[in-house]
Amino acid sequence: MTTYRIATIPGDGIGVDVTAEARKVVDAAAGVYGFGVEWVEFDWSCQRYLDSGAMMPGDGIDQLSGFDAILLGAVGFPGVADHVSLWGLLIPVRRAFNQYVNLRPVRLLPGVATALAGRDAADLDMVVVRENSEGEYSAIGGKHNAGGPGEFVVQESVFTRVGVERIIRYAFEVARTRSRRVCSATKSNGLIHSMPYWDAIFAEVAAEYPDVHSEQCHVDALAARMVLNPERLDVVVGSNLFGDILSDLAAAVTGGLGLAPSGNINPHRDAPSMFEAVHGSAPDIAGRGIANPTAQILAAGMMLEHLGETAAAAAVNAAVETVLDKRQAVTPDLGGAATTQAVGSAVAAALA
């Protein structure tokens, strides 16, 4: 029997609650599909930062490096600046393990009302491939003439040939497993150095995939299209910032952040990949037992797929769909009254 060693970092707020439910579902899948899971939990979080001055220990990356995958809840909580929690844990992990793909599937689940009335599950099924290691999220820049009348800040973007090419190629590979359409988010009219470069590399890679339909679209127009004509989109590839914004938009369109999973993927598999919900720690509802664990459960399903447990991953998706479609356990964000735990238990039971 294969046993996977999974590091789990529940983090802050509802990250803790939803991760517990995702574990419950993965354990149920393990029982049915005949594999083992050894969980090792880390308390790395804003609480740890407040207690000890660091989100994770100095050798945190080393501690994680031997695991088969990482299941992350969410980090961030009032009292700790968001850039501290992000740059003290999430961004170092993504970069140290070369998780340069941020994969964010977006589909309308049965039984969930979309913001787009009159659409159903067949109309909305896309995946956002977000560049996850460079681009607009760079540490290069600084504040100058601080405090003086000429004070200004500079925030540089970094686009490397290797970084742009590999994420675009990944998007085309994903498209070959789906409906063979890729749309690239650009903004070459506004960002006159980085985006024409991105576009040129997109054209080069597209030429290697004559079997895949390719197009590019300015990110603002693409945002509108996601709402107005989502059926025209399949794989959407974008830079770090564009991919971040587009995937939250897409999540909202499919019924909210409680449903949107994501994977930080190292396609070379020489370091663990990390799976998490798109949402954050939701301090406004933390501790009330009403967070929707679906996004985190679907993220755990992506983790099983990545590990090669294809049947178990499909079963997790199907169990989530059954519970939603029959409205067996539905949290308040989707108009129900079920608790976080009730949803996790219902999905685990549907799977078993």
Binding site for ligand NAI (CB under 6 A): 14, 18, 74-77, 82, 85, 90, 257-258, 276, 279-285, 291-292, 295, 333
Residues 6+ apart with CB under 8 A from 11: 19, 44, 45, 46, 72, 73, 74, 75, 76, 89, 281
- In the complex, the smallest distance separating the C-beta of residue 30 from ligand NAI, rounded to whole angstroms, is 23
344 - beta bridge partners? none
- In the complex, the smallest distance separating the C-beta of residue 212 from Mg ion, rounded to whole angstroms, is 27
Give me the sign of the Cα torsion angle 304, 98, 103, 268: negative
Q: Which of these, 247, 243, 229, 213, lies nearest to 106 by C-alpha position?
A: 247
Q: Does 131 bind Mg ion (CB under 5 A)?
A: no
Cβ-based nearer residue to Mg ion, 298 or 347: 298
Choosing among ligand NAI, Mg ion, none, which partner's interface includes residue 173 (Cβ < 5 to 8 Å by kind)? none
- In the complex, the smallest distance separating the C-beta of residue 248 from Mg ion, rounded to whole angstroms, is 5
Q: Which stretch binds Mg ion (CB under 5 A): 10-18, 244-252, 265-273, 320-328?
A: 244-252
Provide the 3-class DSSP secondary structure of residue 206: helix
Choosing among ligand NAI, Mg ion, none, which partner's interface includes residue 76 (Cβ < 5 to 8 Å by kind)? ligand NAI
- Give CA–CA dist 206/103, Å, rounded: 19
Long-range contacts, 175-180 (Cβ 8 Å, 24+): 175/209, 175/212, 175/234, 175/235, 176/209, 176/211, 176/212, 178/127, 178/234, 178/235, 179/234, 180/211, 180/212, 180/213, 180/234
- Give CA–CA dist 248/259, Å, rounded: 11
CB 25 within 8 A of CB 316: yes
Cβ-based nearer residue to ligand NAI, 74 or 182: 74
Choosing among ligand NAI, Mg ion, none, which partner's interface includes residue 16 (Cβ < 5 to 8 Å by kind)? none
Residue 229 corresponds to which tokens in the numbers above? 């004509």
Contact residue for Mg ion among 17, 21, 234, 244 (CB under 5 A): 244
Choosing among ligand NAI, Mg ion, none, which partner's interface includes residue 307 (Cβ < 5 to 8 Å by kind)? none
R_g over Cα of the chain: 20
Cβ-based nearer residue to ligand NAI, 89 or 183: 89
Cβ-based nearer residue to Mg ion, 85 or 328: 85
Report how far apart, in Å, the C-alpha atoms of 130 and of each of 127, 159, 195 are.
9, 13, 15
- In the complex, the smallest distance separating the C-beta of residue 125 from ligand NAI, rounded to whole angstroms, is 21
Choosing among ligand NAI, Mg ion, none, which partner's interface includes residue 244 (Cβ < 5 to 8 Å by kind)? Mg ion
- In the complex, the smallest distance separating the C-beta of residue 251 from Mg ion, rounded to whole angstroms, is 9
306's enclosing H/E stretch is helix 294-307
- In the complex, the smallest distance separating the C-beta of residue 245 from Mg ion, rounded to whole angstroms, is 8
Q: Which stretch binds Mg ion (CB under 5 A): 15-23, 243-251, 309-317, 336-344?
A: 243-251
Provide the 3-class DSSP secondary structure of residue 351: helix
Q: Does 276 bind Mg ion (CB under 5 A)?
A: no
Cβ-based nearer residue to Mg ion, 90 or 212: 90
- In the complex, the smallest distance separating the C-beta of residue 71 from ligand NAI, rounded to whole angstroms, is 12
Site residues for Mg ion per CB under 5 A: 244
